[in-house]
Structure 1
Amino acid sequence: MEESTTRSSDGAPVPVRSTGTGPGVVVLHGGGVGQREYQRLAAALAPRCTVHLYDRRGRPGSAPLDGTETLATDLADLAAVLAHTGARRLLGHSGGGFLALQAGLVLPLDRIAVYDPGLHVDGQPSFAFLEPFEEAVRRGQHARAMTVMARAVHPQELGARLPYPLAELMTRAFLRTSVGRRFVELLPTVPPEVRRIVEHGGPASDYAGIDAEVLLVAGGRSADYFAAHCAALADAVPRARAVVLPGASHNAANVARPAFVQPFADFLAAPVDAVTG
């Protein structure tokens, strides 16, 4: 990958990693992870798109968190990456999907694709877990924090159906893996990013001002509210359509199997004036 650095409006450095050929696409990672977890996706898209990855604040190599970050901070960083790369297309996953859709309201974009976007539409899903989660993060109770959040955000998963003590044991085992250790390192970035999603919750019509073409994709094995949100936004946004990928879980974007990548590559690589149906 080619590495470069741009600067946000406040002077903060934003390292960018780029690969591939074709229309420029900026990938926006989900919460609790960074661009590293999307390198398989970037490699799979690279034959048809020039893919740009960057880490949001609080990740190693990016600007540290100082507690003043807002949605405007995230959008300024993204705007700097778009200007630096010349890209006008986004692919956002989970919390990155929220940022991608918010960007569609204020930044010049041609196409936006999202997978399981992390939204708060018409009060769903419930974010009642947020305060206990924040408290556990403050206390350094990593297994508790991750268990509380996972049981609320992914109610279809085994950990949400088990008694809480067993679910936390599963989390502790996960924390011993390399991915789990990286997640713990980035755990402090999650509460403020989730807070921003809650603060900008509302009806799907809040996104009606997006001019770009939008592909809203939900996983068939993800929580039901992802598909419901995608369908609601498809009705509200003028040039949007919703798709459910059978058999795909919330982490399918990180695994990036060919059947998952194909609809995103088709949408993001197509000419802007193509009919997308």
Structure 2
Amino acid sequence: MEQHWTVQRVPAADDAEIVLHSTGSGPGIIVVHGGGVTIGIYRRLALRLADRFTVHLYNRRGRDDAAARAEPYDGEQDVDDLAALLAATGVGNVLGHSGGGFVALRAAARGLPIDRLALYDPAVQVNGLFPLDWVPAARAAAHAGDIARAMAITGAGLNTQSATSRLPLAVQVAICRLFLRTPIGRGMGELLPSTLDESALIQHHDSPPQQWAGVTAEVLLACGGSGPPYYRPINEALAGALPHARTLVVPRAGHDALNRAPQHLVDALAEFFTTPVTSERARS
């Protein structure tokens, strides 16, 4: 099936341009992608939602067709860019994945006009539940120019459920050196220093879940049943603090399920984004 895309250039708060790639028809959904990737891996998801929704993808700063990222990185520019897209499109539905989930949740906490917020494996640090003690070692390796080692440390730190993470580090580094020879690996390697900056920021925002209690959007906190095990308690803790939230464990799904877009996950997202809003924002 051929997929038709339109491209719109939206002015950002700093006068840069945000390039918005849109497809489909119906209510809009803005997708905030995770760290270490670009929008390319979400095109299958967009295709499978396009018969019911207009799906908007955009590259976050420092990636592909996006403008450069402000340094030092504090995440505020990510939230500002999402605010510009919400204003330009009038969309009230947001889907955040991994580090993009952290961006989207911060945007909702700031009071941006988000009616429905779906977060899949959100990289949000709550009471130390998200494992990030590996970040200093990975950043040191990246700073020294050893991207394969930095990638191996990152992979082992995040993918705690994987058998590969229990291999000797030297073996993991060798695997990453091979992976870096592939197009996907090269892209992830180039973005790894930025991903580590984002991870450090997430760690800096460690707090009890009540930090997010002011979010008024309807929130779906989803995680993969086959993915890293820490997302489930993180989602449960967030659901206990957010006033309009529920959790969903997606069977037979890993951290990359949004990229793979299995039908049962696509249908669950579609159901959430078509449910009438009952939050304080809608009532007001």
TM-score interval, smaller chain: over 0.9
User: Are 1:100 and 2:85 counterparts?
Assistant: no
1:242 to 242, 247, 268: 247
Aligned residues of 1:207 and 1:237 also touching (Cα < 8 A): yes
Report the counterpart of residue 272 of structure 1 in structure 2: 277
Cα distance, 1:273 vs. partner? 5.0
Aligned amino acid, residue 214 of structure 1 = V
Aligned residues of 1:96 and 1:117 also touching (Cα < 8 A): yes
Aligned residues of 2:220 and 2:247 also touching (Cα < 8 A): yes
Uncovered stretches (5+) of structure 1, i.e. residues with no partner: none
Counterparts of 2:82 and 2:253 in 1: how far apart (Å)? 27
Report the counterpart of residue 186 of structure 1 in structure 2: 191
Cα distance, 1:231 vs. partner? 0.9
RMSD over aligned Cα, in angstroms?
1.4
Report the counterpart of residue 112 of structure 1 in structure 2: 117
SS of corresponding position for 1:16: strand
User: Are 1:256 and 2:227 counterparts?
Assistant: no
User: Are 1:72 and 2:76 counterparts?
Assistant: yes
Counterparts of 2:59 and 2:29 in 1: how far apart (Å)? 15
SS of corresponding position for 2:230: helix
Counterparts of 2:30 and 2:251 in 1: how far apart (Å)? 25
Cα distance, 1:66 vs. partner? 4.1
Aligned residues of 2:86 and 2:113 also touching (Cα < 8 A): no
Aligned amino acid, residue 148 of structure 1 = I
Aligned residues of 2:25 and 2:54 also touching (Cα < 8 A): yes
User: Are 1:220 and 2:194 counterparts?
Assistant: no
Tell me which stretches of 4 or more aligned residues in structure 1 moved more than 4 Å.
none
Report the counterpart of residue 177 of structure 1 in structure 2: 182
SS of corresponding position for 1:224: coil
Q: TM-score, normalised by structure 1?
A: 0.95
Sequence identity of aligned pairs in percent? 42
Uncovered stretches (5+) of structure 2, i.e. residues with no partner: 280-284
User: Are 1:146 and 2:151 counterparts?
Assistant: yes
User: Are 1:210 and 2:202 counterparts?
Assistant: no
Cα distance, 1:134 vs. partner? 1.1
Count of aligned positions: 274
Aligned amino acid, residue 92 of structure 1 = G
Cα distance, 1:64 vs. partner? 1.3
SS of corresponding position for 2:232: helix
Aligned residues of 1:94 and 1:116 also touching (Cα < 8 A): yes
Aligned amino acid, residue 210 of structure 1 = V
User: Are 1:34 and 2:38 counterparts?
Assistant: yes
Counterparts of 2:274 and 2:181 in 1: how far apart (Å)? 39
Counterparts of 1:259 and 1:174 in 2: how far apart (Å)? 30
Report the counterpart of residue 168 of structure 1 in structure 2: 173
Aligned amino acid, residue 208 of structure 2 = P
Aligned residues of 1:122 and 1:201 also touching (Cα < 8 A): yes
Cα distance, 1:74 vs. partner? 1.0
Distance 1:201 1:96, change over 3 A: same
- CA deviations on 1:40-97 (whole Å, 9 max, x unpaired) are 1111111111111111111021111341332221110110111111111110110011
1:56 to 56, 60, 76: 60
- CA deviations on 1:188-218 (whole Å, 9 max, x unpaired) are 3212211221122211111111101000001
Counterparts of 1:262 and 1:201 in 2: how far apart (Å)? 32
Aligned residues of 2:219 and 2:245 also touching (Cα < 8 A): yes
Aligned residues of 2:96 and 2:120 also touching (Cα < 8 A): yes
Counterparts of 2:198 and 2:12 in 1: how far apart (Å)? 18
2:163 to 125, 145, 158: 158
Cα distance, 1:9 vs. partner? 0.9
Aligned residues of 1:49 and 1:269 also touching (Cα < 8 A): no
- CA deviations on 1:107-132 (whole Å, 9 max, x unpaired) are 11100001000011101223221111
- CA deviations on 1:140-185 (whole Å, 9 max, x unpaired) are 2111011001101111112211111222222222222221111112
Counterparts of 2:278 and 2:211 in 1: how far apart (Å)? 26
